[in-house]
Structures are given as C-alpha cells and as structure tokens.
Amino acid sequence: MSAYGKSSVGEGHVESAAERAARAGWGLSAASIHWGKRAAASKPVAITKRDRRLLELLHDVNYLSSSQMALLGWSGDSSAARRRLRLLHDHGLIDKFRPAAPAGSFEWNYRLTLEGAQLLQDFGISPEGKPYTPAEIHSISYVEHDLQVNALVLDIAHRARTQEGPLLDAMPFRWHGPRSGEIDPREEPRPEEVSDSARASRISFMGARAKVSSSLTPPSSSEVQPLRSRC
C-alpha cells in the first residue's frame, strides 16, 4: 500500500488490517469524495452487541476506516467483516465514502448516520445525552486528521494488547474520542486536588481533539519496545 492508502500492485506483500489501519486517512485531501451507494435492503437486520459497540464508538470518534472497523470488530480483514459493514450501510445505519480515484481504489471510511444514532437511543444508549448530527465534511483534510488520530490510538492499542481476538475486546486502555473526551476546564480538578495515585493511573494522549485514559500500570523500561521495531 502506498502512503496514500491505495493498494499497491507488485510489491509482493499483502498488508494486514492492522497495517492499513495505522495509515488510515493519509492522502484523503488529494481527491474528491465518492459516496457509497446503498443496495436495497431485502429484510430487517438483527443488531448484535458488536454492531452496537462499533456504532457507539463511531459516534464518539466521528470516522473509522474499513480496516479499523475490521480490526476492532473481527481482529482483521475477513469476508464476514465486509459483509456485515455492507449490511449496516445498506440499512442506513452508517455512511461510507472514499476519495474518487481514476485508477485503483482507496478503502471505505465510515460515519454514523441519524438512523444509526436513533438505533443507539432505541437500545438505551445515548452517548453524551446530546442530539446527534452526523459529522459534516467541510474539508477532506478534517476527515484526514480525525482518521490519523484514530490510527495512532489504534496502533498503540494493537501493539500494547495482551490477548488475541477483536480489538474491541482487547483494548488495553479506555478510549475517549473527541465527543466523550472533550475536556471542560470547569469540571477538571485543580492539580493540588489530584492524588499521586490518580495522576499515575491516568495517561492522556492528546491530539488536537482526542483523549485516551489508561488504568494500566506503566511498564518498566526493559518492557518498552520502540514502535518502529514491530513495523
């Protein structure tokens, strides 16, 4: 795959969902957007717990690529992941889009629809307790930024995981996106009010708009591996 997220031909290496997820968002500002068309939904879909968790996360982080969704829900690319995402899209719960390209193709990216948000409410899940409006795409570079922040978080989580399976079940920390992770200075405790133990148990990775909180015990220096060593 090139730096722009397109599949490369003749490189002799088929990248995994984890590798593609780490590069999600690159190159989106270089092309116009192509929206995926919905096929006629033949019958109602039974929503699973995994569907609800993915939709709730999509609500929080705005956008996820197909490889990121596959890594989270199915531990990697699979025909089951592609079928399920297509089904959720055809039933109007998620939108999908990608840059239009004269040759080759980019992977699909997803955002939650109003119907998807309503479904979460029907299940008693009301993130943030605020009315939902699908994230607008004023600039493709805005989407690129969100996807790259999410790619960084997921790459860290994938490297730090201690068990196999879908990353949703193996996240080594609690992920707060730009909605749930928004910091209100009026609600933040003063530095002198935070205990040493609480301060040590909270690790924040701050992009412009994202926060990740961890309750993990920090590893010793001998356990830390350079990120590039597993690329």
Structure confidence by residue, pLDDT tens digits, 54-63:
999 999 999 9
Distance between CA atoms of 10 and 206, rounded to whole angstroms?
38
Max Cα separation, the chain? 59
pLDDT, one tens digit per residue, over 65-98 is: 999 999 999 999 899 999 999 999 999 999 999 8
Confidence class for position 139, pLDDT limits 50, 70, 90:
low
Distance between CA atoms of 78 and 44, rounded to whole angstroms?
23
Higher pLDDT, 42 or 94: 94
Confidence class for position 215, pLDDT limits 50, 70, 90:
very low
* Single pTM value for the model: 0.68
User: Which residues, including other chains, have CB under 8 Å from residue 205's CB and lie 6 or more apart?
Assistant: 152, 153, 156, 211, 212
